[in-house]
Amino acid sequence: MRTQIAAANWKMNLTYRQGEELLDEILDADIPLEAHQRVVFAVPFPYLIMVNSELADENNYFAAAQNCSDKRSGAYTGEVSAEMLQSINIRYAVIGHSERREYFSETNQALAQKAALCLEAGITPIFCCGEPLNIREAGTQNNYVKTQLEESLFGFSEGRISGIVIAYEPIWAIGTGKTATTEQAQEMHAFIRSVLEGKYGADVAEAIPILYGGSVKAGNAKELFRCPDVDGGLVGGASLIGADFIKIIHSLK
């Protein structure tokens, strides 16, 4: 079975203490994960070391950065490099979240750089893609997402691309309470897999986890994750509520 992932995206929420309490609540639930299942917490940079140390004794639980720089090192005040993340043993980084694309003008080309630097540092990029509402309404979402994949990921070799996770997040569903239907999610995930297959072949495409993101909740996670090409979720709002995220973890295939 392909790797299945429940990824929490705390965004710019929670104080350090609140973060510790939320993590404790989730870990206290003692959810046994199967070998193919992972739980990932994408937390603010200052919390990464704390989260990593809390997860040290847990199997298949990981901390993730929510971003990293597209530059290797140097005079880029305020930036955090992939190498810095590697140096504190971070194994995952969310790359290209739609909020970063929109508010921080991240381009597909800059994301190609970020993904390359992560992979070089042994960090799995959770590469976010997804269309805005006007594109969905125009019915051109497949082309839109294909371009995001091509411009950011298609410079990698077969060996390198196998180290990524993709998160399909339709922007119209993020933080809006409006979830894609299971049909819409499955259709786009299968399309993304077919695009990967066209470039890298069936074996590579079959192995890459594709997460769904966009108002995943305790009540709809099971139904979404049951879709054959949906390999878990990237979860914002509901990941801030311990009981809800616990249910979402339990919903993994």
From 67-75, 79-87, 155-163, 231-239, span contacting ligand PEP (CB under 6 A): 231-239
d(CA 135, CA 115): 25
* Residue 237 interacting with ligand PEP (CB under 6 A): yes
> Which of 55, 235, 246, 249 is the binder for ligand PEP (CB under 6 A)?
235
86 or 124, CB closer to ligand PEP?
124
User: Does the annotation count 169 as an active-site position?
Assistant: yes
Q: Would you call 36 a catalytic residue per the annotation?
A: no
Assess 9 for contact with ligand PEP (CB under 6 A). Answer: yes
CB of 52 to ligand PEP, least distance (A): 21
- Report if residue 8 touches ligand PEP, rule: CB under 6 A: no
Q: How far is the CB of 144 from ligand PEP (least distance, A)?
A: 18
Q: Pattern 164-203, binding to ligand PEP, x per CB under 6 A?
A: -----x----xx----------------------------
Q: Which of 54, 99, 106, 169 is catalytic?
A: 169
The amino acid occupying position 243 is A
Q: How far is the CB of 247 from ligand PEP (least distance, A)?
A: 14
Q: Which residue is nearest to ligand PEP (CB)?
A: 236
Instruction: Please report, as ranges, the residues that interact with ligand PEP according to CB under 6 A.
Output: 9, 11, 169, 174-175, 213-216, 234-238
Residues belonging to the active site: 97, 169
